[in-house]
């Protein structure tokens, strides 16, 4: 790569491995159900000696930078959202990953919170609306906290967001959770909230790239791997 994202270049100054090795390890870690030990073994088979803790450090340093680059290239989402939260284990305790997809299954946004309540749900909606604009409709399950959060947001809006409560209509988001949970399972829980937030962000980015949510140059059809590497440029 001849021209690097300046933020990536700053991170790389302190990392003493070739960029392609670093990006390959980080992509594999967020794209596939692999443990850090698996990655260490896989790189050893390719003649690259890298400790599993080093791969973890690369991911924690690089993923926030790549997320910012992805946000600038993310395609707009639809106006009808399906929102729900799923459980993630952090330091042996359950935490809550708030997520939404539009009616086509595209990821709207995500947010990890320590608690599952009106405050957490409202924070999620505020972040999602700030990043994606306000939806016309949000479908939720029978959660009272999510309903209260949306009603609080509607109280400040001239045009209220239409709220639907339907377990059946929310199957789309529940199916989408599975792709994230499948990837987090080999991680055997996260050690800190900060690490969980950063690694989940990387998993979500890769999931969105696979779903075709990153803008690419007109007429080009790069692979998901190449799109991920493009974020470092």
Read off the tokens for 46: 């390719």
| Integer angstrom CA distances of residue 189 from 87, 91, 121, 125, 196 | 11, 7, 23, 26, 8
Quote the domain boundaries for residue 122: 80-186
88 and 67 share one domain: no
Name beta bridge partners: 93: 90
Q: Note the maximum CA span of the chain.
A: 61
CA of residue 212 relative to chain centroid, distance? 14
Name beta bridge partners: 110: 99
For residue range 146-201, list pLDDT tens digits in order. 999 999 999 999 999 999 998 777 889 999 999 999 999 988 789 999 999 999 99
Q: Is residue 205 part of a domain?
A: no
CA distance 121 to 95: 13
Q: Is residue 66 part of a domain?
A: yes
CATH assignment of the domain containing 174: 3.30.420.10
182 and 85 share one domain: yes
Read off the tokens for 165: 């409560």
Using N-to-C axis directions, what is the helix angle for 52-73 and 19-31, rounded to 10°? Answer: 80
Entry pTM: 0.94
Q: Is residue 35 part of a domain?
A: yes
Q: Is residue 208 part of a domain?
A: no
Q: Is residue 99 part of a domain?
A: yes
């Amino acid at each position: 790569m001849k021209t690097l994202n300046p933020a990536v270049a700053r991170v790389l100054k302190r990392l003493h491995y070739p960029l392609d090795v670093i990006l390959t390890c980080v992509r594999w870690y967020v794209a596939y159900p692999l443990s850090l030990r698996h990655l260490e073994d896989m790189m050893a088979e390719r003649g690259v000696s890298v400790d599993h803790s080093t791969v973890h450090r690369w991911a924690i340093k690089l993923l926030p930078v790549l997320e910012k680059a992805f946000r600038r290239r993310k395609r707009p989402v639809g106006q009808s959202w399906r929102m729900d939260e799923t459980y993630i284990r952090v330091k042996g305790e359950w935490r809550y990953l708030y997520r939404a997809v539009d009616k086509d299954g595209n990821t709207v946004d995500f947010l990890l919170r320590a608690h599952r309540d009106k405050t957490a749900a409202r924070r999620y909606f505020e972040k999602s609306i700030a990043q994606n604009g306000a939806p016309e409709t949000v479908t939720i399950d029978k959660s009272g906290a999510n309903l209260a959060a949306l009603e609080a947001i509607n109280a400040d809006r001239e045009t209220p967001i239409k709220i639907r409560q339907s377990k059946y209509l929310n199957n789309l988001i529940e199916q989408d959770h599975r792709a994230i949970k499948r990837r987090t399972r080999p991680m055997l829980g996260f050690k800190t909230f900060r690490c969980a937030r950063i690694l989940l962000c990387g998993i979500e980015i890769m999931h969105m790239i696979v779903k075709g949510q990153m803008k690419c140059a007109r007429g080009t059809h790069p692979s998901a791997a190449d799109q991920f590497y493009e974020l470092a440029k």
